[in-house]
């Protein structure tokens, strides 16, 4: 057996190369560290020059405060930073970086040159290292106020790591994404990116709403901005603003999702859960929502020093943040009507501002927290008289709660009957968003003439959504009927889960459950919702308790019940090949205009589409 190796101190070079493994993975990692330093220095203009995807050269130049000549050697030393002084500073970090190891780590695996000048200095100074002895060389240089960091030949002295780099285009795409993220975080800073001498991205300062929207369009595409809702909500010390994409602008990958906490982009599982929950019921299977959102919160209420790359955060009041995010986005998406989708939502001056329950006052029950006062809308006619024009509906009909419990015969059938105009009104202001029905195609689609052109509606999908929303309204307003079990079901749980069940006892009661604690790690289920089977209920309780402990909230019960309501709605919706009269078709169109989430069926498929007159003219080459 070989002799045990003796403990010894690592050389500065090796220690820095090991530290580099945490923060320097590829050229994009280097760009992130250098750009964050530039932003922390107060820069208003940042220029990035890249060659060969950043492997041969990565130069970041800014007009920030610069670094004093005496501090230049320290800038490349480990555990040296200007951003924190005491341990307490970590409790309210507002700078982008503060670990004080990035430059030292980078300089250990590349040839690094740092040139800087402060406003009160007569000349600039330059420091160089080449990853060998780690002893920096300082000399005078020519440079305006600000800092330039030049990183050449990344991983030149660690070939094992260099071989893991991808193709030039792949590395540059990663680097460009870093700049996009920071450009969305700091609208007040101009960014310029060049690759192999060619200008790739030019973003000017954006200090007003119009220029900020223009930057979002440049970074995320004009299509996103045209299909996004502006959000600006402030409540209980939390401020959420930005843009959320309509469900119709979903993506096959989660590649257009930008979420910032106090200006720092994060990928947080609590945030992801809240957003995913808000988009439930409106996204097609396997699709991902799009958003650019900014959360502003007291720095002492969030810990950003959870991970070396600072992509993760920890909220002190996780449940409050989750419910605020979910509630705000859920209501904003629910408020979307056909007229919003026909316009360009992000360009509109009106910003959605839900209040009260709509602004996020949700408990762990999610939608069940909505009271009847928020959702209840008594039925009323949307027609004055034939030919009198469109009267905007003020409310939505509500189904009796008994039918939501499954004791229903033919809910929401037949369709409401009403009059229809003999001809379209002459003024566009009198034409409802989805227009007036003119025909039915193959017993599947409704064709309608709107102010803009032709509207095509999937009759079954639209009616399915309307019925589903009304069933949810009924359930939310009156709660769920419970069904006592003849023989209570006993389940084994952890002590934390049992404590959690006791804490949320009233919430379980509202959802139709009755739980009793039999011992430190044993629960008895005495009552379950009438819509559920006993086996489903037992499994659900365990999953829900896990969610409550991890997120402080759970939507599993609601999601499962919604699946059942969606099935009921699907069976109750008008079937294909059923011939509808014009009044029936118009009644369906009017219901769509006032029903939440009517743009998608219960499975996330679109319920309607429109072809404008311009699009039709192009098809037939009119005017060409």
Q: What is the pLDDT of residues 165-182, one digit of tens each?
A: 999 999 999 999 999 999
Q: How far is CA 361 from CA 236, 293, 365, 374, 547, in A?
A: 10, 19, 11, 12, 19
376-419 pLDDT tens trace: 333 332 322 233 333 433 333 333 334 333 323 333 333 333 35
How many CB atoms lie under 10 A from the CB of residue 371? Answer: 13
Percentage of residues in the chain with pLDDT exceeding 70? 76
Give the range with max mean pLDDT: 52-56, 130-134, 153-157, 423-427.
52-56
Q: How far is CA 25 from CA 21, 49, 77, 119, 267, in A?
A: 6, 19, 20, 34, 18
Residue 219 pLDDT greater than 50, yes or no: yes
> 209-362: same fold as 12-202?
no
Q: How far is CA 72 from CA 20, 106, 115, 308, 453, in A?
A: 20, 15, 9, 23, 66
Q: How far is CA 519 from CA 486, 490, 514, 524, in A?
A: 21, 11, 16, 9
- At the topology level, CATH places domain 209-362 in Ribosomal Protein S5; domain 2 (3.30.230)
Tokens of 276: 């995913």
- Pair 452, 613: CB distance under 8 Å: yes
Percentage of residues in the chain with pLDDT exceeding 90? 43
d(CA 368, CA 420): 37
Tokens of 396: 């939505």
d(CA 268, CA 305): 13
Residue 350 pLDDT greater than 70, yes or no: no
135-149 pLDDT tens trace: 677 899 999 999 999
Q: What is the DSSP letter of 364?
A: T
Tokens of 486: 């003849």
- The angle formed by the CA atoms of residues 401, 407 and 408, to the nearest 5 degrees, is 85
For residues 361 and 234, the model is more confident at 234
Angle, helix 534-551 to helix 556-572, in steps of 10 degrees: 130
Sequence-ordered list of residues with C-beta below 8 angstroms from that of 475, at least 6 positions apart, any chain:
368, 401, 404, 561, 565
Q: Domain segments of the chain: what residues?
A: 12-202, 209-362, 368-624
Best CA proximity match to 365, nearest among 322, 314, 315: 322
Q: How far is CA 116 from the centre of its chain?
A: 38
Best CA proximity match to 374, nearest among 412, 416, 327, 406: 327
d(CA 225, CA 154): 37
- Pair 298, 236: CB distance under 8 Å: no
Place of tokens 């959360």: 295
Class of domain 12-202: alpha beta
251-277 pLDDT tens trace: 999 999 999 999 989 888 889 999 998
Tokens of 190: 């101009």
- Pair 465, 602: CB distance under 8 Å: yes
- Pair 77, 101: CB distance under 8 Å: no
Superfamily of domain 368-624: MutL, C-terminal domain, dimerisation subdomain (3.30.1540.20)
Helix (H, G, I), strand (E, B) or coil at 343: coil
For residue 334, the model assigns a pLDDT of 86
483-497 pLDDT tens trace: 899 889 999 999 999
Q: How many helices (H) and strands (E) does the chain have?
A: 20, 22
Residue 414, preceding bond cis, omega within 30 degrees?
Answer: yes
Q: How far is CA 175 from the centre of its chain?
A: 22
Per-residue pLDDT, averaged over 314-334, amounts to: 91
Average pLDDT, the chain: 79
Place of tokens 């309780």: 541
d(CA 223, CA 346): 11
Confidence (pTM): 0.70
For residues 9 and 452, the model is more confident at 452
Q: What is the DSSP letter of 357?
A: G
């Amino acid at each position: 057996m070989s002799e045990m190796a003796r403990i010894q101190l690592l050389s500065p070079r090796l220690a820095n190369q090991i530290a580099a493994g945490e923060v320097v993975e590829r050229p994009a990692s280097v760009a992130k560290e250098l750009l964050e330093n530039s932003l922390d220095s107060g820069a208003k203009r940042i220029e990035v020059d890249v060659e060969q995807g950043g492997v041969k050269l990565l130069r970041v130049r800014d007009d920030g405060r610069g670094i004093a000549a005496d501090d230049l050697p320290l800038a490349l030393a480990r555990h040296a930073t200007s951003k924190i002084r005491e341990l307490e500073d970590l409790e309210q970090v507002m700078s982008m970086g503060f670990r004080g190891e990035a430059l030292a780590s980078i300089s250990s695996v590349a040839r690094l040159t740092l040139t800087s000048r402060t406003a009160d200095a007569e000349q600039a100074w330059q420091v160089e290292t080449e990853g060998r002895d780690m002893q920096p060389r300082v000399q005078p240089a020519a440079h305006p106020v600000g800092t330039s960091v030049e990183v050449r030949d990344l991983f030149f002295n660690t070939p094992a790591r260099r071989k893991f780099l991808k193709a030039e285009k792949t590395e540059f795409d990663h680097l460009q994404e870093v700049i996009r993220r920071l450009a969305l975080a700091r609208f007040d800073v101009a960014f310029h990116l060049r690759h192999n001498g060619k200008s790739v991205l030019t973003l000017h300062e954006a200090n007003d709403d119009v220029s900020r929207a223009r930057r979002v369009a440049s970074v995320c595409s004009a299509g996103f901005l045209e299909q996004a809702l502006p959000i600006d909500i402030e409540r209980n010390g939390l401020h959420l603003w930005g843009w959320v994409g309509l469900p119709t602008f979903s993506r096959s990958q989660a590649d257009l999702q930008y979420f910032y906490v106090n200006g720092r982009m994060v990928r947080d599982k609590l945030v992801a859960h809240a957003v995913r929950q808000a988009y439930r019921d409106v996204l097609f299977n396997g699709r991902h929502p799009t958003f650019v959102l900014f959360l502003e919160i007291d720095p002492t209420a969030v810990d950003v020093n959870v991970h070396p790359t600072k992509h993760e955060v920890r909220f002190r009041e996780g449940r409050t943040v989750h419910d605020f995010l979910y509630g705000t986005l859920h209501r904003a998406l629910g408020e979307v009507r056909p007229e919003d989708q026909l316009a360009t939502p992000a360009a509109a001056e009106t910003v959605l501002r839900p209040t009260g329950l709509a602004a996020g006052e949700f408990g762990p029950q999610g939608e069940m927290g909505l009271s009847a006062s928020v959702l209840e809308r008594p039925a009323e006619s949307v027609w004055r008289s034939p030919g009198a024009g469109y009267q905007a509906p003020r409310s939505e009909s509500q189904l009796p709660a008994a039918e939501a419990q499954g004791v229903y015969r033919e809910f929401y059938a037949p369709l409401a009957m009403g009059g229809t105009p003999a001809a379209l009104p002459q003024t566009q202001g009198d034409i409802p968003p989805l227009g007036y029905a003119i025909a039915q195609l193959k017993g599947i689609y409704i064709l309608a003439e709107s102010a803009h052109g032709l509207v095509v509606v999937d009759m079954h999908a639209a009616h399915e959504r309307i019925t589903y929303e009304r069933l949810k309204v009924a359930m939310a307003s009156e709660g769920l009927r419970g069904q006592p079990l003849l023989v209570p079901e006993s389940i084994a749980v952890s002590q934390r889960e049992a404590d959690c069940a006791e804490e949320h006892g009233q919430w379980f009661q509202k959802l139709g459950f009755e739980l009793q604690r039999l011992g430190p790690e044993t629960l008895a289920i005495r009552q379950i919702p009438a819509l559920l089977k006993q086996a489903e209920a037992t499994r659900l309780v365990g999953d829900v308790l896990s969610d409550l402990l991890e997120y402080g909230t759970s939507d599993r019960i609601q999601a499962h019940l919604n699946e059942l309501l969606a099935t009921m709605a699907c069976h109750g919706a008008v079937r294909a090949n059923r011939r509808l009269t014009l009044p029936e078709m118009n009644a369906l169109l009017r219901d769509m205009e006032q029903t939440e989430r009517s743009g998608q069926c219960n499975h996330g498929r679109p319920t309607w589409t429109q072809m404008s007159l311009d699009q039709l003219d192009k098809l037939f080459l009119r005017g060409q």
